[in-house]
Amino acid sequence: MLTVLRSTWPLLLGMMLLMLGNGMQGSLLGIRGGLENMETFQLSVVMSCYFVGFLFGSRMVPEMLRRVGHVRVFAALGSLISAVLILYAVAPNWIAWSLMRVLIGFSFSGVYITAESWLNNASSNENRGQALSLYLIVQMIGIIAAQGLLNLGDPSGFILFIIPSVLVSLAFTPILLSVSPAPSFESTKPLSFKRLYHASPLGCVGMFLLGGVFSAQFGMAAVWGSQAGLSVRDISIFIAGIYVGGLIAQYPIGWLSDRIDRRTVILWLAVLGAVVLSVPVIWDAPFAVLLVIGAMAGGISNPLYSLILAYVNDYLEKSDMAAASAGLLFINGLGAIAGPVITGWLMSEVGPRGFFLYMSVLFAFLATYAAWRMTRRRQTPDATAAFTAVSPSATAIVATAAMGEGEVEQTRQTPPRPMD
């Protein structure tokens, strides 16, 4: 672990600062939008636009990297992020914010792809799992700490927009001044969605539904808090609780999924998510209970993301992993685009409880589909290969590397088995 840390600390430090900036701006817009009297549906469009930009970035940035190189792309997108973060406060208009959120999503997608290329290049087959774990921990710590920074100033002023801009600018200093060489970026032969769906229908459907859950959790939580009348402090604590729950639950759920049929774990996690998130729909719960529910929701959804990637890996050849991970993340992005818009509409119709209602329904759909799929395909002996935690904000590079880690463990334990 120390060897990995010594070789990757500039990248990990930079990523922590980036996540501080990204975590702040996502929550801050929901709070500031409420203060600017923006309608819930308008804010939902603003939040959705981040995922539109992220999706475009995942498709366009790899070609930019091949044409002009990692350093130039990294510096250019970083400058764009820093500028947009300040412009939010200059133009508090939902249309302007929507356009800027597209730019932010595109830029962060490119920054993640570039940084994760470096991480993948800096690690070997022997320590890649440790590098991925450190990367996940750093991301989570950055986002959790970002919620605390929201209490350093007045959300109606400029200070809270300047802080993430400065943090993002500082994030590129250790990365760009490190001596690590820029890695090569190879194109991946695409895997058709038809083939991907045939390989794992549950993986495709699950990724789409989880996209809606993630975008609701991390895009609309601050909007929900503002509509529910929570203070900035309580909103920041609630959002931090979602990430803390996800961080704590990753290992035990991963450990369990390595020992029993992954579909069983997916099914019962989805059932638990549907039940837990239905509680605030039917009961006006106090904040302490809502905090526990938020932590449980994060503790269910974050491990489910890694779990579905691992499940799909059980039915793929290693040569298809890169294309499959890119396809799954694209499907996840499609679900994420729709999530805030539908959540915003529900909140406009039924009030703040629509935030929890939407996620509860998605988990119920996932549980139903997982149960049905268990009647259509038998479990394979190699379906309990190694689980590797992956953050929902990771790009196809880290997802592929994580899937590769599982494949290494799988080949040590069980010979490959053809897809049934």
Task: Taking residues 212-224, report their average pLDDT.
Answer: 90
Q: Which of 180-184, 193-197, 404-408, 412-416 has the highest mean pLDDT?
A: 193-197
At 124, the amino acid letter reads S
- For the cut 50, the answer to whether the pLDDT of residue 381 exceeds it is no
Query: 374 with 263: CB under 8 angstroms?
Result: yes
Burial of 418 (C-beta count, 10 Å sphere; 0-12/13-18/19+) = exposed
Task: Taking residues 179-206, report their average pLDDT.
Answer: 72
Tell me how far apart the 2 most distant CA atoms of the chain are, in Å. Answer: 60
Name the token pair of 312.
């799909």
Domains defined for the chain, CATH in brackets:
2-413 (1.20.1250.20)
Percent of all residues in the chain with a pLDDT value above 90, rounded to a whole number: 29
Closest CA to 211 of 60, 55, 322: 55
Query: 340 with 214: CB under 8 angstroms?
Result: no
241-272 tens-digit pLDDT: 998 998 888 778 877 877 777 888 899 999 99
Name the pLDDT band for 330 (thresholds 50, 70, 90).
confident
| Coil, strand or helix at 418 | coil
pTM for the full predicted model: 0.81
Question: How many residues make up the chain in this entry?
Answer: 420
Name the token pair of 120.
């993948």
CB atoms within 10 A of CB 419: 13
| Coil, strand or helix at 415 | coil
Cα-only R_g, the chain: 20
Name the token pair of 7.
């070789």
Percent of all residues in the chain with a pLDDT value above 70, rounded to a whole number: 79
Name the token pair of 322.
């890169």
- For the cut 50, the answer to whether the pLDDT of residue 239 exceeds it is yes
Query: 308 with 206: CB under 8 angstroms?
Result: yes
Residue 216 falls in which region: left (phi positive, over 0), alpha (psi -120 to 50) or beta: alpha
